[in-house]
Amino acid sequence: MAEQVSADWLTCDHHGCIGIRLRTGHMCLAHALAEDRDAELKRIGEVGEIDLRGMRITRKLFDQVMAAVQRGADEQPLLTVSRFDRATFEGDAWFLRATFQGDAEFTGAIFEGDANFQATFQSDAGFDGVTFRRGAGFDHAAFEGDAGFNKTIFEGDAGFNKVILTPWGAT
């Protein structure tokens, strides 16, 4: 008998998928019809909020989401609230020069490819229980809020060169 997996959010109707259901339709972004997917990517671009909890994120889908997000003056990706709890990144996930303006939550996520977070986290960043199957790069990352790495597993190389940790309230 297949193991039942539960989630704390309304899940996709696709068999076996625990990805969070979009505001329209009954599927997650990975399984949505083109019209619903396009509407969600447009919404991500307008508000910067990403919620891909529980999803299997292909490299193509990752690239579509990152192409949709707002851009700063230097064309860096700007993300407000970012939820990737229990998501599985099937390919490489590079958040190069990204600015996470709100909380960035990756609790329980799995990165099957290389992950690169040369990014600025202006609020809290949660990497508790994350598994990095290949390389994980946090070189030149800046953490301005709390950063959690409890029970994080690094199966490949992990880089934390020149990481900046700024305590709350520091000026």
Residue 111 lies in a domain: yes
pLDDT of residue 109: 98
What is the span of the domain harbouring residue 58?
A: 49-165
Q: What is the band of 144 on the pLDDT scale with cuts at 50, 70, 90? A: very high
Is residue 39 situated within a structural domain?
no
What is residue 167's predicted lDDT score, i.e. its pLDDT?
A: 67
pLDDT in tens, 36-59: 999 999 999 999 899 999 999 999
53 is a domain residue: yes
CA distance 136 to 154: 7
Examine residue 156 and state whether it is found in any structural domain, yes or no: yes
pLDDT value at position 171?
A: 40
CA distance to 21, 75, 78, 85, 161, per residue, from 14 (Å): 10, 35, 30, 18, 41
Domain total of the chain: 1
pLDDT greater than 70 at residue 3: no
Residue 12 falls inside a structural domain: no
Q: What is the pLDDT of residues 15-34, one digit of tens each?
A: 999 999 999 889 999 999 99
Q: What are phi and psi of 15, to 5 degrees?
A: -50, 125
* Mean confidence (pLDDT) of the chain: 93
Ramachandran angles phi, psi of 165, nearest 5°: -115, 115
Torsion angles phi and psi, residue 131, rounded to 5: -115, 120
**Rounded mean pLDDT, 65-80:** 94
- Residue 9 to residue 1: CA distance in whole angstroms: 24
Q: What are phi and psi of 143, to 5 degrees?
A: -110, 110
| Residue 136 placed within a domain | yes
pLDDT the model gives residue 100: 97
Q: Please give the C-alpha separations between residue 164 and each of 28, 139, 148, in angstroms, as whole numbers.
A: 35, 9, 14
Question: How confident is the model at residue 168, as a pLDDT?
Answer: 57
In the predicted model, what is the mean pLDDT of residues 62-87? 95
**32 lies in a domain?**
no
109: in domain:
yes
